[in-house]
Amino acid sequence: MRYVILSKGDAKSEALKHKMMRHMQDFKMIEDEENPEIVISVGGDGTLLQAFHQYSHMLSRCAFVGIHTGHLGFYADWLPHEVEKLIIEIHNSEFQVIEYPLLEIIVRYNDDGYETRYLALNEATMKTENGTTLVVDLDIRGQHFERFRGDGLCVSTPSGSTAYNKALGGALIHPSLEAIQIAEIASINNRVFRTVGSPLVLPKHHTCHIKPVNHDVILTTIDHVSVKHKNVNAIQYRVANEKIRFARFRPFPFWKRVHDSFISSGEDV
């Protein structure tokens, strides 16, 4: 088994990483940063997001597993004291692969049809550079839907629906559903300007185009990465053809994670 371990970088995560590497060498597993079969993140969900972006070019050839050294994560499902068990499972077992949908973002510019493509595991946001009101036209499946005015827009994946999207009042969507969700960030609604005022859930075959109105610079985030874009014609969002693959060695139910994260981590009383 070829593996790579990515650490959050703090003392606890680094110590755990080196402990795991020693054990994995004992099992004759091969560290391979270029072509791993399994990508192990040690830290939290943020560390796994970084691992995803580092290996997003080879999603069909590797699977991810997370060890959380801090709070319970939605992606990191193993605890530090369980690493020996995990290593034995990796060595001895044919792990189950669970696939989650991803978000494809294509930024198209006014310069000769040039475009940039991104993938997001959690969400992508769109705002102005200086915090002024964002004014954009939103088209769905090639038809105009609305002109949005507000602080910005957040487009999330099902697994990312528990993150920023939830704070914006969006719905929680099970990752078995191939969809994206568009949530408003502080929209302007009055007698003159109106938006739908509700999150939109688009299925896989629906594409959304968002076109800036008189904005020279658009600030986007792709998960944890911020990128400024100039001279943007439109940004396209849709469910990506690629999926992230998680290595599962035991059940890790989505709704239990939601319950433990937002309702109670202990026994109900």
CA contacts within 13 A on the Cβ side of 257: 22
87: left (phi over 0), alpha (psi -120 to 50) or beta: alpha
CA–centroid distance for 27 within its chain:
32
Residue 139 in 3-state DSSP?
strand
Number of CB atoms found within 10 A of residue 203's CB = 11
List 10, 26, 32, 45, catalytic entry = 45
**Which tokens hold the place of 68?**
């959380």
Active site residue 45: yes
**Which tokens hold the place of 158?**
């099902």
CA contacts within 13 A on the Cβ side of 226: 6
Q: For residue 159, give the DSSP letter.
A: G
Residue recorded with tokens 């090639």: 142
Contact 38, 65 (CB under 8 A): yes
**Which tokens hold the place of 41?**
């993140």
**Which tokens hold the place of 59?**
């999603």
Active site residues: 45
